[in-house]
Copies of this chain bind each other. A is one copy, B any other.
Amino acid sequence: MQGEPDVAVLRLGHRPGRDDRMTTHVGLTARALGADRVIYPENATDAVETVRDITDRFGGPFDVARTDEQHATIRDWEGTVVHLTMYGEQIQAVEAEIRERHASQSLLVVVGSEKVPFSVYEEADWNVGVTNQPHSEVAGLAVFLDRLYDGRELDREWTDAESRVVPRETGKRVVDTE
């Protein structure tokens, strides 16, 4: 979020077709819950387009980057690398330390899809499990970001939005912001 060290979410691996929606949801969740950027593999064209479109309509700042050098991005990251995995340390045990580190350093959050190579486990500063149960990389990312920001992300402000949803008890209300 603005005024804090950067948080980027790297989607590791993507199978076009099969992973399109999950990969898109990783990017939309990153945006909605306070990250500054998603880094997609080059072949994630659908996800790139959808997340950019949502950012145009509902605001930013949020950046969508693409690379085929995902492993180099992890290896060369200047800052802290957190890999979300059901095999990792429990989030409730390590979140305070990660929050403290993020106060002064940018953070790369790695979200896998297919089998993640062992080198990623080694290169991460933390391997973190949002539970040690199999569930969803999108769910894990959401809980991680909500805890990283301690709920502050829910109050973030959006700039350059065309539309804004007004919270309502019942029904839908969307207003033009122009």
Interface residues of A (CB under 8 A from B): 21-22, 25, 28-29, 31-33, 54, 58, 86-93, 118, 121-122, 126-127, 129-136, 138-143, 146-147, 151, 153-155, 158, 164-174
Contacts and interface: CB of A to CB of B under 8 A. Distances in A.
A140 B136 CA distance: 12
B133 A58 contact: yes
A122 B31 CA distance: 29
Given A139-B142, A146-B143, A173 B131 contact: no
A170 B85 CA distance: 10
A25 B139 contact: yes
A81 to B, nearest CB: 12
A39 B60 CA distance: 36
A86 B174 CA distance: 10
A173 B87 contact: yes
